Structure 1
Amino acid sequence: MYNPTVARLTYRALLGRRRAAILFVLPALLIVIAAAVRSFSGADDQVTADLLGGFALATMVPLIGVIAGTGAIGPEIDDGSIVYLLAKPVKRSTIIFTKLIVAIAVTMAFSAIPTLIAGLILNGNGQQIAIAYTVAALVASIAYAAVFLLLGTVTRHAVVFGLVYALVWESLFGNLVPGARTLSVQQWSLALAQRIGENGVISSDVGLPLAVILLVGVTAAATWYAGRKLRTLKLAGEE
């Protein structure tokens, strides 16, 4: 199911000079903000949870997911270069699975690691807050990568739709509108963070069993449908 050649090409595309520079911006900003907040307010559990939840998990993770998920396949479909990959004796389901693994790895690396560093800077992992949000970022990375990889296979405007979803649904509605929270990857991952923290500072509107079911279901469904779309993909010049 995993193809090293496809993985290498995908990593090269995602971590090229221009895209890698974009990926580094938000993690660097999070760490700078964390250092500034710690210097001004000291170690504070609630401030740590607010920053990691409001910026890292609600904004940074989905945006990095957009970049990694759509970038893993969207540009190749847009410019037609994926025809060279599809012409190889590699199953299309293998291509999707491999690109998903790469997108997940990149999203995790550029979101979970900075979240952990920021949490340690803010309160030294007091009340297990840094670890809790790091786990939430890791879990959310899987779902976001799958969803945005799917977007990359179904529309040429995947980045635009992905940004709208990340900034409007996850960052805005996922934080402010009670009914929408239950349909937010952010809230599903927060359910795991809440269990790990067990301190009352972290909360989610979704119970842990339902959150796990939704995370697994969305990831599996998005991956399956992305594979299906790639199998039926019609490129320019195909009959």
Structure 2
Amino acid sequence: MYDPTVARLTYRALLGRRRAAILFGLPALLLAIAIAVRLLTGADDQVAATVLGGFSLATMVPLIGVIAGTGAIGPEIDDGSIVYLLAKPLKRSTIILTKLIVAIAVTMAFSAVPTFVAGMILNANGQQIAVAYTVAALVASIVYSALFLLLGTISRHAVVFGLVYALVWESLFGSLVPGARTLSVQQWALALAERIGAEGAIAADVGLPTAVALLAGVTVAATWYAGQKLRTLTLAGEE
């Protein structure tokens, strides 16, 4: 269910010059913020949670997920080069799963690792905050990658829709409208962080059992539907 050639081509596409600038830029900004905050405020657990929750989990992780998830397949569909890949004797599920694995790996590398480093800078993992938000970033990376990979298979405007979700729904509505938080990947991931962190250090609006069910369900459903859309695309191309 994993093809090295597809993976290599996908990595090459994702780590091209334009995307790489954003992929490296966001973690660099997080680390710069963490250093500045530590110098100005010292080691403060509440400040660390605010920075990691407000910038890393709410903004950086979904944005990197948009870049990696949509970039793993969207450009190939847009320019028609996906036809050459589909002509290979590969199962469509293998193509989707390989691209998903690559998207997840890229999102984790550029979001979870910087989150942990920033957490150590901010308060040296006081109250397990750095570890908790790193785990949240790892889990959120999986779901965002699946969702945005799906978007890349169904829309030519996947990046736009992804940015709207990441910046408007997750960052704005997810923080201001209580009802919207239940449908927020950020809040589902925060439920895991809340369990790992010290008592009272992190708060989530979704219970852990619900969060785990939604994280798994959305990931599986998005991956399955992306595979179905790719099969439809194949049939259309053959016709």
Same fold (TM over 0.5): yes
Asked if structure 2 preserves the Cα contact closer than 8 Å seen for 1:80 and 1:235, the reply is no
CA distance in 1: counterparts of 2:17 and 2:7, whole angstroms = 18
Q: CA deviation at 1:235?
A: 8.3
Q: Which moved more, 1:168-177 or 1:180-189?
A: 168-177
> CA offsets per residue over residues 113-146 of structure 1, 9 Å max, x none?
0000100000000000000000000000000000
Correspondence for 2:103 = 103
* SS state at 1:232 partner: helix
Asked if structure 1 preserves the Cα contact closer than 8 Å seen for 2:72 and 2:149, the reply is yes
CA distance in 1: counterparts of 2:180 and 2:41, whole angstroms = 32
CA distance in 1: counterparts of 2:8 and 2:175, whole angstroms = 37
Unaligned runs of 5+ in 2: none
After superposing on structure 2, the runs of 4+ consecutive aligned residues of structure 1 that deviate more than 4 Å are 234-238
Matches within 5 A, 1:39-50: 39-50=39-50
CA distance in 2: counterparts of 1:207 and 1:95, whole angstroms = 34
CA distance in 2: counterparts of 1:190 and 1:98, whole angstroms = 27
Correspondence for 1:115 = 115
Asked if structure 2 preserves the Cα contact closer than 8 Å seen for 1:185 and 1:215, the reply is yes
CA distance in 1: counterparts of 2:199 and 2:59, whole angstroms = 23
Q: Does 1:35 align with 2:38?
A: no
* SS state at 1:22 partner: helix
Amino acid at match of 1:189: A
Matches within 5 A, 1:67-216: 67-216=67-216
Asked if structure 2 preserves the Cα contact closer than 8 Å seen for 1:80 and 1:236, the reply is no
CA distance in 2: counterparts of 1:143 and 1:237, whole angstroms = 29
Correspondence for 1:227 = 227
Correspondence for 1:58 = 58
Q: Does 1:10 align with 2:10?
A: yes
Q: CA deviation at 1:187?
A: 0.2
Percent of matched pairs sharing the same residue: 84
Q: Give TM-score, length-normalised by structure 2.
A: 0.98
Aligned residues: 239
Amino acid at match of 1:217: G
CA distance in 2: counterparts of 1:235 and 1:39, whole angstroms = 58
CA distance in 1: counterparts of 2:238 and 2:158, whole angstroms = 23
CA distance in 1: counterparts of 2:144 and 2:109, whole angstroms = 14
Aligned-residue CA RMSD (Å): 1.1
CA distance in 2: counterparts of 1:66 and 1:237, whole angstroms = 26
> CA offsets per residue over residues 181-223 of structure 1, 9 Å max, x none?
0110000000000000032020101010110000000000000
Amino acid at match of 1:223: T
Cα separation, partners in 2 of 1:226 and 1:151, compared to 1, 3 Å? same
CA distance in 2: counterparts of 1:148 and 1:237, whole angstroms = 23
